[in-house]
Chains A and B, each alone.
Chain A
Amino acid sequence: MRGQGFGFIAPLLVLMVLAFNLPILYMLGLAFWDKGRGFTLEHYEGLAEAPVYLRVLGNTMRIALIATIANVIIGYPLAHWMRGLQNRARLIAIALVVLPFWVSILVRTYAWIVVLGNGGLVNRALQWTGLTDAPVSFLYNELGVTIGMANVLLPFLVLPLFAAMIRIDDRLMQAAASLGAPPRTIFWKVYFPLTLPALAAGALLVFILCLGFYVTPAVLGGGRVPMISNLLDTLINQIPRWEQASAISTILLIVTLLIFAAYRRLDRKAGL
């Protein structure tokens, strides 16, 4: 069938070019063009001059990094533990990871308002155990946003990591043990290096998703934790500055695609 089959993708290709590629090109155009003057970098100069943009960028990077690290710290042991479970228990654990993955991000974010609020479950527990007297404010600050994002994105790390872990042959560890390696050595010298590509790929994926996150910072940050997405929302919907929004979107798009290219390389390695 050499040279054949194009007809099958043609309808979708037309839709994607018209409704996806063209709008993105148009956005790139707005970022680099100025009426009557042609190509310009003016919109980027505007970005470098306004400290608010740099602060939001720094904020976003920091929160994304912390949420990613939190994901690795919770997700790696979770996936590793799931690997060792027996059939039924493992199925239940998989279901508990897959279900949140499909439940609306909005719903899961909203629930944290209930859990983390001043009269919420966590604060009541803290006060009941006497750890604090006054409620700790988790909401409408970076802490709440980070907790919410780590929660929403955890399945993105755990599912591929778990899939990579169950592909590792138990006999490799048994061989190491039969040669006299203690469990700690087996874990760090045999098991962990084999899981590293999948872990790195998952962490990059989570980081990418964090960079463009919109719902969770908007809901749990209450406007006090601005991230790139929320800044873009302001520039489009509140003070219309489309060129500036396009310029920031272009940077975010390029950064995302670069990290994604790195992810693809690691993911291919993890799949071998």
Chain B
Amino acid sequence: MIGGSIWTRRALATVGVLGLVFLAVPILIVIPMSFSSAKALTFPPPSFSLRWYETFFGDPRWMDAMWISTLVALVSSVLALVLGSFAAYGLRRGSFAGRDWAEGNFMAPLIVPTIIVAIALYLGLARIGLLGSLVGLIVAHTLLSVPLVMMVMGVAIREFDPRIEQVAWSLGASWWYTVRKVMLPNLAPSVFAAWIFAFIGSFDEVIVTSFIAGKYDTVPKKMFNELILEVNPTITAVATLLIGLTVLALAAVTVILARAGKLKQTIV
């Protein structure tokens, strides 16, 4: 560690802690607010109640949105996982012309501003008559999740010793058998992490969904629309549920990767 006076170090610690507080404040405020009994957003809440959760779970429109979100997230994350993992394998192990270009193209949805993806998809889907369709929505979420899958699986496959596959082949195993019996069991923790990231990514997606989903409401889309209109405390309950989902998912990923000893390579 760099030395410096005690005052320098204290000042640094203060700034660091304040930075962490700044990051955590939104999350730490929303959770208690969701258990408030008041109609106005006052902090701290006057008294405890579950009324906003009752409003949320009792509202068929929110429940429909929940169902659409889950369906789209499930289908698109599995599609992205399968297509993205195979592609990551091809990119890491194969050698063909245009490999760098293909990889850049698969990662592009992460770099191109989401608003541009939303507009391009809106125009394209309108052109072929799939605007406002579930198929269009699922395809859009799939391509947005692909980079997340590729990041996790790309690292995992690169770290996996190719000689292990070669041994399996030399012993007469088919390629498909090798993938199923050798690679998949070894890469399972990363596959799980990639799937979770893709699922969360889809479940939280709001921009593209708002543009192309038409009559379908997902949870974030409905939340966004209500936010623009008025301040409604039901949103605090929805927000808390989304935070809870993220925390659970990240905890699951952390535990599974830590058990496999792969935590560090995936996060940093």
Contact = CB atoms under 8 A, between A and B. Distances in A.
A219 B228 CA distance: 6
A126 interface: no
A44 to B, nearest CB: 17
A19 interface: yes
B30 A170 contact: no
A260 B87 CA distance: 23
A1 B94 contact: yes
Contact of B43 (A4, A103, A114, A184): A114
Interface string A229-269: 10011001100001001100100110011001000000000
Interface stretch (A10-18, A32-40, A47-55, A128-136): A10-18
A93 B22 CA distance: 13
A252 B113 contact: yes
Interface string B115-153: 111011111110100000000000110110010000000
Nearest to B24: A96
How many B residues are at the interface, by size bracket?
Answer: 35 or more
B7 to A, nearest CB: 11
A98 B254 CA distance: 11
B243 A212 contact: no
Given A16-B143, A19-B143, A252-B113, A5 B93 contact: yes
A256 B108 CA distance: 11
A15 B83 contact: yes
Given A114-B33, A212-B113, A242-B123, A20 B89 contact: no
B113 A211 contact: yes
Given A9-B87, A12-B106, A212-B115, A23 B121 contact: yes
B256 to A, nearest CB: 16
A235 B169 CA distance: 56
Contact of B19 (A112, A154, A218): A154
B41 to A, nearest CB: 5
A23 B102 contact: no
Given A27-B120, A27-B123, A106-B206, A154 B83 contact: no
Contacts of A232: 115, 119
A103 B247 CA distance: 8
A2 B95 CA distance: 5
Interface residues of A, number: 95
Given A16-B105, A77-B15, A99-B246, A151 B113 contact: no
A6 B119 contact: no
B16 interface: yes
A interface, over-half SS: helix
Contacts of B224: 106, 215, 218-219
Contacts of B23: 96-97, 100, 151, 154-155
A229 B19 contact: no
A136 B123 CA distance: 42
A102 B250 contact: yes
A237 to B, nearest CB: 7
B223 interface: yes
A22 interface: yes
18 contacts: A6-B94, A9-B94, A15-B83, A15-B143, A20-B109, A27-B119, A30-B123, A103-B243, A104-B206, A106-B204, A111-B29, A154-B19, A166-B268, A218-B228, A236-B122, A249-B116, A252-B116, A253-B116
Interface of B: 1-5, 8, 12-13, 15-16, 18-20, 22-27, 29-30, 33, 40-43, 83-84, 86-87, 89-91, 93-96, 102, 105-106, 108-109, 111-117, 119-125, 127, 139-140, 142-143, 146, 200, 204, 206-207, 211, 220, 223-224, 227-228, 231, 235-236, 239, 242-243, 246-247, 249-250, 267-268
Given A9-B90, A21-B105, 19 more contacts: A5-B94, A8-B90, A16-B105, A26-B120, A26-B123, A27-B119, A78-B15, A96-B20, A104-B204, A110-B236, A121-B29, A155-B23, A183-B5, A214-B115, A215-B207, A215-B224, A229-B115, A253-B113, A256-B116
Interface of A: 1-9, 11-13, 15-16, 19-24, 26-27, 30, 74-75, 77-78, 80-84, 93-94, 96-100, 102-115, 117, 119-121, 124, 151, 154-155, 158, 163, 166, 170, 173, 177, 183-184, 186-187, 191, 208-209, 211-212, 214-215, 218-219, 228-229, 232-233, 236-237, 242, 245-246, 249, 252-253, 256-257, 260
